[in-house]
């Protein structure tokens, strides 16, 4: 029976595999779920780094004199 979610095959070096297996065992979840959760966390961190970089660039050009107030926006 086909599954709903796509699959991914990954080749790991033995030490990484052992660490992942140990983490999964401690969490009481499958190796697949552990890998999925760590990938999600990593992608979230990369996204945070990206948006932080964008925010820092925008902050350089921010001017309080040109900024709209809360009142200006919501009226």
Helix then strand then coil, in percent of the chain rounded to 5, is: 65, 0, 35
Q: What is the rounded distance in angstroms from the CA atom of residue 12 to the CA atom of residue 34?
A: 14
Give the dihedral sign, CA 16/19/24/25: positive
Q: CA-based Rg of the chain, rounded to a whole angstrom? A: 22
| pLDDT, tens digit, 9 for 90 and up, residues 4-49 | 889 999 999 999 999 999 999 999 999 999 999 999 999 999 999 9
Q: What is the rounded distance in angstroms from the CA atom of residue 26 to the CA atom of residue 44?
A: 23
In terms of pTM, does the model score above 0.75?
Answer: no
Examine the pLDDT at 2 and tell me if it is beyond 90: no
């Amino acid at each position: 029976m086909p599954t709903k979610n796509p699959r991914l095959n990954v080749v790991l070096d033995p030490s990484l595999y052992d660490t992942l297996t140990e983490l999964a065992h401690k969490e009481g979840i499958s190796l697949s779920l552990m890998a999925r959760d760590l990938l999600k966390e990593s992608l979230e961190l990369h996204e945070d780094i990206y948006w932080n970089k964008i925010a820092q660039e925008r902050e350089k050009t921010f001017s309080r004199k040109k900024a709209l107030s809360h009142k200006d926006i919501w009226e």
